[in-house]
Structure 1
């Protein structure tokens, strides 16, 4: 049976994200995972002092993740990915608890925000491919009651999402309009990634 992936080793994802792993698996890619050891908040602070905008921040974070693992595994093709949610001038992070998630949904209610999803491919400690894609999501106005109902239905899983919603699941009920690719919303621009892997000679199709 012909193989899609032409590398001697599987693609190495510098993350333990189940959503990104599922996206890659859905495209038929053979993937292993290894968590990066970067300090994301420290990198974000440095990026802010440099005046980087949210798309550039997403690119920086994805590159640092890829490089962190690539330095340990220089012979592998390493994929780093990250996503930054911005609403106006405010950058949101994963909520630490339910009350913080509730406040974040209140802040996003009735507004449009952007998701900047980036990836970087690294080999031997050097980034060889990178890309940033942006999606715009408009959340419908939410009442206190609807927010509480959503949080009750979705459970603790919302704390694993930067927007405290899982768009691929119950979170889709929170929105009235979306502009952008579905994989970008999920945190990994899949079509640009596949194009990059073809340029590197990693795919047979």
Structure 2
């Protein structure tokens, strides 16, 4: 039986994200995960002095994660990924508790925001491929009661999402209009990733 993944060793995903892992597996890639242990807030603080825009910030975060794991696995192909949510001039982050989640959804309610999803491939401690894709999501106006109901139904898992919603689940109810690839919304743009892997000769299709 022909193999889709042609590299000698599995792709290393520099993340413990179950969603990103599921996307890679669904595309038929041979993959394992390792935690990058990168402090995202420290990277953001350093990038702030450079006045990086959201797509550049997402790319920086993805690259730092890929490099951190690549230095531990110099012979492997390592994928780092990250996502930045921007609404107007404001960049949003993951929240710590339900009250903060409620405030974030109130801030996004009735507005259109952008998800900047980036990926970086590193080999031997060097980034060899980098890409960013953008999706725009128009959240419908939400009443306080609707926000409370959503958070109750969705459970604490939404705290792991930068937008405090799981678009692939109940979060789809929060939106009027979405533009962009589904995998970009989930935090790993598959089409540019697969193009990059083909350039590196890692996939046969």
Coarse TM-score class (shorter-chain normalised): over 0.9
In structure 2, how many angstroms separate the alpha carbons of the residues matched to 1:166 and 1:37?
23
Q: Distance in 1 between matches of 2:198 and 2:95?
A: 37
Q: For 1:135 and 1:53, how far apart are their aligned partners in 2? A: 15
Aligned to 2:100: 100
Structure 1 outlier segments of 4+, above 6 Å: none
Instruction: Specify every segment of 5 or more residues in structure 2 that has no aligned partner in the other structure, as ranges.
Output: none
1:38 Cα deviation after fit: 1.3
Distance 1:9 1:132 in 2: 25
Give the whole-Å Cα distance in 2 for the aligned partners of 1:50 and 1:193.
26
Rounded to whole Å, the distance in 2 between the matches of 1:19 and 1:103 is: 25
Task: Map 1:40-55 to 2 at 5 A.
Answer: 40-55=40-55
1:179 matched to 2:169? The reply is: no
| SS at structure 2 position matched to 1:23 | helix
How far is 1:63 from its partner? 0.2
| Alignment partner, residue 22 of structure 1 | 22
2:78 maps to 1:78: yes
5+ residue gaps in structure 1? none
Q: Distance in 1 between matches of 2:37 and 2:106?
A: 32
Count of residue pairs brought into register by the alignment? 205
TM-score of the superposed pair, with normalisation by structure 1: 0.99
- What residue is the counterpart of 1:65 in the other structure? 65
Task: Give the TM-score normalised by structure 2.
Answer: 0.99
Kindly report the root-mean-square deviation, in angstroms, between the aligned alpha carbons of the 2 structures.
Answer: 0.5
2:131 maps to what in 1? 131
Q: Distance in 2 between matches of 1:52 and 1:68?
A: 21
